[in-house]
Amino acid sequence: MKRRFLLPVLLTTACTRGESRVPATPESPATPAAPLAWAFDAPAVWGDRVRLEDATEATRHLSARVFNYLPRDTTIAPQGVLGIVVFDSAQWARARAEEGPPPGDSLASVNGQVFVASLPQSNPFAPASADFLAFDSLTVTLDAVRRTFRVLP
C-alpha cells in the first residue's frame, strides 16, 4: 500500500489565517503568497525507513521538504532520497543560471511558484554496507516522482 503525502507548502515564516508571507529581501519584496499544497504518493517500499522533514537551512527557496532515509546505523545522520523544493519563478531562474549542476528538476509551475524535485547524486553510504543496499533500494527516478506529484488547488 502506498503512503500518500498531502502537504501544505508552508513558507519559512509564520502563517496566520491561511496567509503566508515571504520576508522582504533586496531580491524579493514582501508579498502575500497563495497557500499552495502538493501531494506525492510515496513508494510502498519506503515504509518506516523514510521520514518526511522540513528543510530548515536558510537558502534561496520559499520552502523545502525532504524525504530522509533513516539509516540502520544510528550513528549516521538521515540522508535525503527526495527533496521537494519550492522556488518563486525569479529565484528558480537565478538558481538555474548558476554554475554547476542545477538544484533539481522542475515538476510544475503554478502561480509564479516552481516545484522542484531534488534527487541524490550518489549513494552516501559505504559500498556493500546494509545502508548502501537499503538506500539504493529506496531511491526513486524523476519519472516516478513526476507520475505521482501534483499541486493541489
Q: What is the pLDDT of residues 38-51, one digit of tens each?
A: 999 999 999 999 99
Residue with the bigger pLDDT between 59 and 10: it is: 59
> What is the model's pLDDT at position 25?
36
Which tens digit of pLDDT belongs to each residue from 115-145?
999 999 999 999 999 999 999 999 999 999 9
98, 80, 6, 115: CA torsion to nearest 10: 10
Residue 55's domain comprises 3-152
Query: Whole-number mean pLDDT of the chain?
Result: 78
Per-residue confidence (pLDDT) for residue 64, from 0 to 100: 85
Q: How many domains does the chain have?
A: 1
